[in-house]
Chains A and B, each alone.
Chain A
Amino acid sequence: MSIYTMGIDVGSTASKCVILKDGAEIVGKSLVAVGTGTSGPQRAIEGVLADAQMTREQMDFVLATGYGRNSLDGLADMQMSELSCHARGAAFLFPQVRTVIDIGGQDVKVIEIEDGQMRNFVMNDKCAAGTGRFLDVMARVLEVNTRDLGDLGDRSTREIGISSTCTVFAESEVISQLAMGTDKCDIIAGIHRSVASRVVGLCHRVGVRDQVVMTGGVAQNHGIVRALQDQLQHDIYTSPLTQYNGALGAALFAFQKASK
């Protein structure tokens, strides 16, 4: 008989769920664009069950991860950190992975992987510079959609420097650039380099080894991925499932638990 497991990743800005069959096949996934403290987690769970046409009772094990992992009263059988889950998810999608870069809504993680398991990690400090939230703030100032930043940055023709020290300082720099009439696309490319330089610092602390995989919502922004590649001088792999990576890892750990 097949084993079905669910991974729930309750992030700070989005809730993601994945249902796995026998720890190998994704039979359902869902994403709600609000995270912990909202209706997002509950809606994501309902969404993934509907997608897989299954019920909670049919799940052999449910594992929660992410910032809001401890907020799901009784809905999950176990909680694990998003660090391990991102490591496991990335190793499933890219078996040769040694380094995972995950840029989430409010934190950045760089994880060292050996034999598919997390060996070490570093995370950003309290500052929001270099996180998804930083990009959201910048997009708002620039009056563009966060999801369009990648394409707009492609059109840049001039290099503009934006500070990577502090979201508030960077925001005022962006406003000054706009006031000077600088092209938005150039500013956006500068923002991408700014995020990348912040993340690269963390990467060097762990040590970068191929394959390097980028996960989390920000990996959908090809401008950031390219800026990171340029600065790291390593190829970076991403998956269309990048936003589900944490939930996928959680579902894989859940399978491990259910199989015992």
Chain B
Amino acid sequence: MAKEVSPGVLALRKVVDDVYADAREAKKQGKLVGWSSSKFPCELAEAFDLNVMYPENQAAGIAAQRDGEIMCQAAEDLGFDNDICGYARISLAYAAGKRAARKVDLETGEFVIDPNSGKPLKDENGNVVIDEATGKPKKDPKTMKPFIVLDDIHEIEALPEGREKELRLNAIQPYKQMRIPQPDFVLCCNNICNCMTKWYENIARMCNIPLIMIDVPYNNTVEVNDDYVKYIRSQFDNAIKDLEKLTGKKFDEKKFDDACKHANRTAQNWLKVCDYLQYKPAPMSGFDLFNHMADVVTARGKSAAADAFELLSQDLEKNIKEGTSTLPFPEQYRVMFEGIPCWPKLPNLFKPLKANGVNVTAVVYAPAFGFVYNNYDEMVKAYCKAPNSVCIEQGVDWREGICRDNKVDGVLVHYNRSCKPWSGYMAEMQRRFTRDLGVPCAGFDGDQADPRNFNEAQYETRVQGLVEAMQANKK
């Protein structure tokens, strides 16, 4: 039986689906569509009614749909190094027009099925059906999938109208992240990561479109100093001027104020949802927060996102009253999962956690995206604080705070090959977690988007080791 999905989760999914659908529709109508880094002040774009897509969220989706490798490879074929962030590689390949597509036979119009795909066919008693000719299990035709190949949207669009063009367009992977419109402008704020600057500059050059850049300096103090605020505020003002020029519209203060209200309400409700993980046992699987991040990124400044998180918090409140949880197993251990998940390997990440009764009850995204402000300067300060732009003291404080509040027994650290800044300070953080919180930490190698950098057997051993260390620590 399919898992029952709560009204809050359905609402959150719809919010993101609508953002993507609205952008596609806008493009059809000839309106501008932009691409934005995840922590660019969305309030500015909202003030101009702009449709914006988020390449980080898109890349995570593409990776989770198992097309990360073909897209990363495509970027490498364009000359981008394998060491560059996997999200950036996927996004750059997409910006260059590369698309993961189902292999189609142009004569018959049928997809070419990969004989190695699919699950074993089972009879009515649940037994695997063996193919007498080969002695191997038969494949369930319903689960078999076409080969995935790389296509090029520019090449397809250059074709004359006709069957081939239609078939190839239709063959592009049908999920929303592989079908976002090409950008007309890019909004880049390097608070989330320094890699953004070159990534977005590349997109702007490739697509010959304007780049609106907000540079947030690294904060080597916990408090944001006033000079930084002045510097960034002046860039916000410039971005507004650039957007006025780009759209031909005047900055709408009312719309901006509304977007700020929505962004604050989204942040408050997001934090409320995250705080339910303080309950023991938790009313939800904390791993779900990674999926809900899509709403925080793509729709923070929209009332629909704030409403959907409100609805989810009501679902969780109900779970607490009824003593239920979305966690599909009894919670024996609680950990902080540090870093971005390996999106292409989510089931593999979850499997040993489930087998050992480990719930993720803390993620750094809770404090990092749960920011609330009361005025323009506070808004500027809030945008100064992202995981890779804050000093180690602030980073440790965020994490240790949430570890204490959410009562974790251990920390699982993803040493993310895609993210050098994040992994760069993690060794010291790990030392501090062990010293300050007295809990064991285990690190594993992986990647947020490129499946070639993850080894399941190594991960399983580290998780089992962490569980055994947590067990010893509890005694």
A binds B: yes
Q: Is chain A's interface secondary structure helix, strand, loop, or mixed overall? A: mixed
Chain B hits for A81, CB < 8 A: 461, 464-465, 468
CB of A126 within 8 A of CB of B455, answer yes
Could you tell me the distance between the alpha carbons of A199 and B256 in the complex, rounded to whole angstroms? 55
The residue of chain B having its C-beta at the shortest distance from the C-beta of A207 within the complex is B431
Given the known interface contacts A67-B457, A118-B468, A119-B472, the answer about A205 and B462 at a Cβ–Cβ threshold of 8 Å is no
Binary contact track A209-244/B, C-beta < 8 Å → 1, others 0:
000000000000000000000000000000000000
Q: A79-B464, A122-B443, A126-B458 are in contact. List 20 more A-B contacts (CB 8 A).
A: A67-B461, A70-B460, A80-B464, A81-B468, A82-B461, A84-B469, A107-B458, A107-B461, A118-B469, A118-B472, A119-B472, A119-B473, A120-B434, A120-B440, A120-B441, A121-B440, A123-B458, A123-B462, A126-B455, A205-B431
Number of A-B pairs, beta carbon distance below 8 Å: 55
In the complex, residue of chain B having the shortest beta-carbon distance to the beta carbon of A253: B468
B415 within 8 A of A: yes
B472 touches A126 (CB 8 A): no
Which residue of A70, A117, A125 contacts B472 across the interface (Cβ within 8 Å)? A117
B442 interfacial contact with A, CB 8 Å: yes
Q: Does A18 contact B (CB under 8 A)?
A: no
CB-CB under 8 A from A121, the residues of chain B are 440, 442, 465, 469
In angstroms, Cα B474 to Cα A119, docked, is: 10
B427 within 8 A of A: yes
Instruction: Show 13 residue pairs from A and B whose CB-CB distance is below 8 angstroms, ordered by the A residue.
Output: A67-B457, A67-B461, A80-B464, A81-B465, A83-B465, A117-B475, A118-B472, A121-B442, A122-B443, A123-B461, A123-B462, A125-B415, A205-B427
The docked-state distance in angstroms from the alpha carbon of A80 to that of B355 is 13
**How far does the alpha carbon of A67 sit from the alpha carbon of B456 in the complex, in Å?**
11
Q: Which residues of the other chain, A, contact B458 by a CB distance below 8 angstroms?
A: 107, 123, 126
Is B453 part of the binding interface, using a Cβ–Cβ cutoff of 8 Å? yes
Question: In the complex, A67→B441 CA distance in Å?
Answer: 20
Give residues in A with beta carbon < 8 Å to B.
67, 70, 79-84, 107, 117-123, 125-126, 205
Collect the chain A residues with CB atoms within 8 Å of residue B464's CB: 79-81, 83
Q: How distant is B3 from chain A, measured CB to nearest CB, in Å?
A: 26
CA distance A121 to B472 in the complex (A): 13
Cβ contacts under 8 Å, A119 to chain B: 440, 469, 472-473
Closest to A117 in B: B472
Nearest opposing residue in chain A for B473, CB measure: A119
Instruction: List A contacts of B415 (CB < 8 A).
Output: 125
Specify which chain A residues have a CB less than 8 angstroms from the CB of B472 in the assembled complex.
84, 117-119
Among A79, A118, A125, point to the contact of B465 (Cβ < 8 A): A118
How many angstroms between the C-alpha atoms of A123 and B412 in the bound complex?
13
Contacts of A79 in B (CB 8 A): 464
Complex: A70 Cα to B469 Cα, angstroms: 19
Q: Is the Cβ of B455 less than 8 Å from the Cβ of A120?
A: no
Which residues of B, 416-475, contact A by the 8 Å Cβ criterion? 427, 430-431, 434, 440-443, 445, 453, 455, 457-458, 460-462, 464-465, 468-469, 472-473, 475
Q: Which of B442, B453, B461, B468 contacts A126 (CB 8 A)?
A: B453
B371 to chain A, nearest CB (A): 32
Chain A residues in 8 Å Cβ range of B475: 117
What separation, in Å, do the CA atoms of A172 and B102 have in the docked complex? 41
Closest CB of chain A to B204's CB: distance in Å? 34
